Amino acid sequence: MKLTVIYDNVSLREDLKPDWGFSCLVETKTLKILFDTGYDPSILFHNMKKLEISPKNIDVVVISHPHLDHTGGLADFLRVNPNVTLYVPQCFPTEIMGVKTVRVKNPIRLSEDTYILGELMNIEQSLLVKTGKGLVLVTGCSHPGLENIIGEASKFGEVYGVIGGFHGFRNYKALEKVSLVCPCHCTVAKKEIEKIFPEKHVKCGVGKVLEFE
């Protein structure tokens, strides 16, 4: 699978715009999944264009949680591509018209190698992708607590990598068994994570591409 960061507080390339929020593209053998949509639709589309990601080629949109820095680009995106299937957590407050929408409470399988973890603590859901090295977990803000999300994900197998916003996470022990850690977006303890796990840490930012066999 291939993961490309489209929207993040930090940018790794001069032609890509940083902004507070998160979005990434997850490509597997069978699905192109847009995970979250950032805050500002014009920045989302700008970065997608520069990254040569065509909105029309996306099959599935997964929204982690109903905060504007993850849903801001959604309405505009759906106007460009209304043919996706949209997966929102059950707590999602608005009805989305004209698009096939699935409200997720319990874990569901999207394809052979992708799962949505299910809504945790009535706020947020995460994406899980099976790779040859183990499971890769993609999070929005980790409001339910990254350690709890990793705990849930571990029920599906060994978690190899964790990518996304970790918010106020400081329970570093929870990362000991994880081999790749890419703290993005709202992660408060980015510096500490890099310091404690220099060999696992991967710097996040718009334009970051991670590939897993």
- Relative to beta strand 127-131, strand 114-116 is antiparallel
User: CB burial class (10 A; 0-12, 13-18, 19+) of residue 83?
Assistant: exposed
Tell me the site size for Zn ion, rule CB under 5 A. Answer: 4
Task: Choose one: 82-90, 115-123, 138-146, 190-198; the region binding Zn ion (CB under 5 A).
Answer: 138-146
Task: Choose one: 2-10, 27-35, 136-144, 155-163; the region binding Zn ion (CB under 5 A).
Answer: 136-144
Cα distances from 48 to residues 21, 58, 89, 163, in angstroms, run 14, 12, 24, 19
- Indicate the residue among 7 and 45 with the shorter CB distance to Zn ion: 7
Among 48, 153, 186, 206, binds Zn ion (CB under 5 A): 186
Spatial CA neighbour of 7 closest among 37, 32, 51, 50:
37
Among 69, 129, 159, 160, binds Zn ion (CB under 5 A): 69
**How many residues are present in the chain?**
213
Decide if residue 67 touches Zn ion (CB under 5 A). Answer: yes
Check: CB of residue 125 under 8 Å from CB of residue 65.
yes
Please tell me the distance from the alpha carbon of residue 11 to that of residue 18, in angstroms, as a whole number: 5
> Closest approach of Cβ 21 to Zn ion, in Å?
6
> Closest approach of Cβ 190 to Zn ion, in Å?
14
Decide if residue 53 touches Zn ion (CB under 5 A). Answer: no
Tokens of 177: 């068994």
> Closest approach of Cβ 31 to Zn ion, in Å?
24
- Relative to beta strand 32-35, strand 60-62 is parallel
Spatial CA neighbour of 141 closest among 103, 187, 182:
187
Task: Choose one: 31-39, 131-139, 183-191, 203-211; the region binding Zn ion (CB under 5 A).
Answer: 183-191
- Indicate the residue among 67 and 190 with the shorter CB distance to Zn ion: 67
Among 141, 150, 178, 193, binds Zn ion (CB under 5 A): 141
> Closest approach of Cβ 70 to Zn ion, in Å?
6
- Indicate the residue among 28 and 126 with the shorter CB distance to Zn ion: 126
> Closest approach of Cβ 83 to Zn ion, in Å?
27
Which residues in this chain contact Zn ion in the complex, by CB under 5 A? 67, 69, 141, 186
